[in-house]
Amino acid sequence: MTATAAASTAGSSTNVPLLQADGVTMRFGGLTAVNNVSMTVNEGEILGLIGPNGAGKTTFFNCLTGLYKPTEGQVRLAGVDLPPKPRAVVRAGMARTFQNIRLFANMTALENVMVGRYCRTSSGALTSILHGPKFRREEKETRTRAQELLDFVGLGDSTEHLARNMPYGNQRRLEIARALATDPKLVLLDEPTAGMNPLETRQASDLIFKIRDTGLAVVVIEHDMRFIFGVCDRVLCLVRGETLVEGTPEEVQSDPRVIEAYIGTATDEDDADKAEAGAGHNSDAGKGSAANDAEDS
């Protein structure tokens, strides 16, 4: 290959998005939870995924990470098609956390992170049972890496704490450390600040920037708009399972369609007030009719 051809090949490879989801659709019987959603994520980018409750955000995450097999569409990581199998997706370089924390409650913080690391070990069943040299070497490396990640997320002093005894905010960070233990290229975080106080939310923001600074890309689902618009390079808004708008935080937060999706329009509010007033009037009338019926009887 000539130098010119090699340069051309290198240039074309750098134009491939780290993650590319094309036309992802997920149907459950007659319900379409995600409808023809496409998304790209570039290396070292933080992308936010927002939308009202029921917009299909977590379902879309599940399609990306192999928990669901999309009814239609395709997901690629670094230009390679991803099979709809969670373990294969993790080994390919995509890790995630969950909206509801899924730690091993009776394991220590260190053990939880070590579990995430085992997808990168190669000891067979026999050497693991017999604790052969390869197993011992990999176990030592796994333990060392797990401790490094606990230090990275700010939990270096919680190594031997049981996960169930850790504060809520620390459990969130522990789950992120476990995801990082898989050596991902891309991390998907599902509502990482849910239930956190303002201090914990700021710490979560700092941690996401810290992760990005290591070269990883991050996709975040979050309902805290101040948080999303403060950390993300781009934002994608879903409504009723479809893409409503995508752009920079400034473009998305000023888009009237996004405002309408979250808080409705003035007309919607007027109609709601009228409906509520009518319901109250009908309720009172019903009570009077019931009372009259009782007296007639």
With a CB cutoff of 8 Å and minimum separation 6, the contacts of 255 are: 237, 245, 247
Same domain, residue pair 133 and 270: no
Distances from the Cα of 48 to the Cα of 1, 69, 160, 180, angstroms: 40, 23, 33, 19
Task: Give, to the nearest 10 degrees, the angle between helix 133-152 and helix 168-180.
Answer: 130
Per residue in 282-297, pLDDT (tens digit) is 444 444 433 333 333 3
- The pLDDT, as a whole number, for residue 131 is 67
- The pLDDT, as a whole number, for residue 259 is 86
CATH code: domain of residue 220: 3.40.50.300
Q: Which domain holds residue 282?
A: 265-291
Tell me the C-alpha distance between 199 and 159, whole Å.
22
* Total domains, the chain: 3
Q: In which residue are the tokens 């390079």 written? A: 233
* Residue of 196, 124, 110, 115 whose CA lies nearest to 157: 110
pTM of the model as a whole = 0.79
Per residue in 175-221, pLDDT (tens digit) is 999 999 999 999 999 999 988 999 999 999 999 999 999 999 999 99
Per residue in 148-158, pLDDT (tens digit) is 999 999 999 99
Per residue in 228-283, pLDDT (tens digit) is 999 999 999 999 999 999 999 999 999 999 988 886 654 444 444 444 444 444 44
- Assign 138 a pLDDT band (cuts: 50, 70, 90): confident
Same domain, residue pair 162 and 41: no
